[in-house]
Amino acid sequence: MITLRPASSRAHIVRPFIDTRRTFSFPPYFDARYRNYGNLQTINDDRVQHAWQVPWHEHKNMEIFGYVVSGSSHHVDSLGNDAEVPAGAVQRMSAGRGISHTEGNTSHVPNRYLQLWIRPNQQEVEPHWSWHQFSTQEKLDRFCDITARLPIHADARFLAGIFTQRHTQILDGARSHYVYVVRGQGQINQDDYEEGTGLALWQETELEITPSTESEILWFELEPHNGQNPVNS
């Protein structure tokens, strides 16, 4: 079964320094139909103006990815990390028993940055932060396993690909899956997609991507389901 979340159905929140679209409930947006999907908790698609930082704050017991689409993201945390993370890179923060940080855009152009949260299967672990630059070639017409390079404390994998031609991906039908389109147009399993489209899949064994334009697509292989749709589980 596939449940389509059209790009236009996401929450759209505009503030002086940020323009964000939210797939799942995340303050101040709440929709009881879209709290999470399995252990995938958050997809925030943020566009941040230059010279703005999120105020210092703390996270605990969450696996958090930052996927930099364009521009760069400036990260500073309580572990002593201070880095400018460029486009094409992914940062990973295992919050564990607690990590405080700030992030934002210190460049002179707006950035686009995806916040991706996955619930962990281990609590109170040692907090950790790191990042890695992924090349276009690693993702071209195939899915690159981000979590192979940036492992997390969760029963999940996070992968990304850039597709210029038809691609078929075999899925484990016993697991839940979620697909998010970063950019591009085409069809996934005969459903039309555009930038911001989301697709929740369960009891599916194949993902067929047919791009009509170059498409950057994220795929989350999530925890096993019990035969029931894992929405808001």
Q: Match 């993702």 to its residue by tokens.
A: 139
This prediction's pTM: 0.96
Per residue in 154-181, pLDDT (tens digit) is: 999 999 999 999 999 999 999 999 999 9
Residue 233 reports pLDDT greater than 70: no
Average pLDDT, the chain: 95
Distance of CA 1 to the CA centre of its chain: 21
Q: What is the CA radius of gyration of the chain?
A: 17
Q: How far is CA 150 from CA 65, 95, 106, 142, 168, in A?
A: 9, 14, 24, 18, 25
Pairing, β 63-70 against β 89-94: antiparallel
Residue 108 reports pLDDT greater than 70: yes
Higher pLDDT, 30 or 227: 30
**Distance separating alpha carbons of residues 98 and 211, to the nearest angstrom:** 41
User: What pLDDT, on a 0 to 100 scale, did the predictor assign at position 55?
Assistant: 87
Q: What is the mean pLDDT of residues 90-106?
A: 95
User: What pLDDT, on a 0 to 100 scale, did the predictor assign at position 44?
Assistant: 98
Q: Are 72 and 107 in contact (CB under 8 A)?
A: yes
Q: How far is CA 17 from CA 28, 46, 49, 65, 111, in A?
A: 16, 10, 5, 21, 11
